[in-house]
């Protein structure tokens, strides 16, 4: 089994690479990553020399590079972690989020259609559902919760999700989608909340409070998330959306 993991040098993607290498040592794992500010090749140092691992530096929006890789590797499964994911950055510059998160997804799925695939899995976010009311702690998002985005980032991810489901309905592409809550764990990028708070505390710097400090987040340990995706790509039902929470 050959698995392409896009965004595999990022926080969640690298943890997924490690998980797959450990749980499926007979699989061939191909990591495709553009190595933006959020990607760190040194994270993958421990697997770079493994015979069943290959790293390719490329942009998922680069159709020629993506198709070349598919032609060479003939993947069975594609798991797409590659995304611009920082909400504040999306407010400053929405265009790059639309390009990577929507057009990049389309390029990958076109390659899946052209070269054949057993499963295309889109890693999404619970932010496509918007916010829950603070005075209703009994409420939870479900897979049937209507999409209600609140930032260019979440809108770009919701757009990609709809495109993935459209490719399933229109072309019969075997797809699944997972929407997760906030991840934490090894290799977390330092701009994110938990590592930022820890780094500021260690440096005796102020701890930033968002809004009035009353917002609540659900936290998911990254290795639990990776196990969930592994389960979905092997046993999940094609065309389904799966929520993964902490």
Active centre residues (catalytic): 126-127, 153
User: Between the CA of residue 128 and those of 64, 94, 146, 158, what are the distances in Å?
Assistant: 30, 16, 9, 5
Burial (0-12, 13-18, 19+ Cβ within 10 Å), 157: buried
Helix and strand numbers, DSSP H then E, in the chain:
8, 9
Residues 6+ apart with CB under 8 A from 242: 143, 176, 177, 178, 179, 228, 232, 236
Nearest to 44 by CA among 23, 20, 17: 17
Question: What is the C-alpha to C-alpha distance for residues 12 and 207, in angstroms, rounded to an integer?
Answer: 24
Cα of 104 vs its chain's centroid, Å = 12
Question: What is the C-alpha to C-alpha distance for residues 199 and 189, in angstroms, rounded to an integer?
Answer: 11
Token code pair at residue 203? 């440096």
């Amino acid at each position: 089994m050959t698995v392409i993991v896009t965004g595999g040098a990022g926080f969640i993607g690298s943890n997924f690479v490690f998980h797959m290498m450990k749980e499926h040592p007979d699989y061939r794992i191909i990591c495709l990553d553009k190595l933006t500010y959020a990607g760190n090749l040194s994270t993958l140092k421990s697997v770079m020399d493994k015979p069943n691992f290959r790293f390719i530096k490329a942009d998922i929006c680069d159709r020629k590079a993506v198709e070349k890789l598919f032609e060479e590797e003939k993947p069975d499964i594609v798991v797409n972690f590659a995304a611009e994911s920082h909400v504040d950055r999306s407010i400053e510059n929405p265009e790059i989020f639309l390009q990577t998160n929507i057009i990049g997804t389309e390029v990958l799925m076109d390659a899946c259609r052209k070269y054949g695939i057993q499963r295309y899995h889109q890693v999404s976010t619970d932010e496509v559902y918007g916010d829950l009311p603070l005075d209703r702690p009994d409420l939870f998002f479900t897979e049937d919760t209507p999409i209600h985005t609140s930032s260019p980032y979440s809108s770009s991810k919701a757009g990609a999700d709809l495109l993935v489901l459209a490719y399933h309905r229109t072309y019969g592409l075997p797809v699944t989608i997972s929407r997760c809550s906030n991840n934490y764990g090894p290799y977390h990028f330092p701009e994110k909340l938990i590592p930022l708070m820890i780094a500021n505390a260690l440096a005796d710097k102020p701890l930033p409070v968002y809004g009035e400090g009353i917002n609540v987040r659900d936290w998911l340990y990254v290795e639990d998330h990776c196990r969930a995706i592994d389960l979905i790509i092997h046993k999940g039902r094609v065309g389904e959306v799966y929520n993964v929470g902490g």
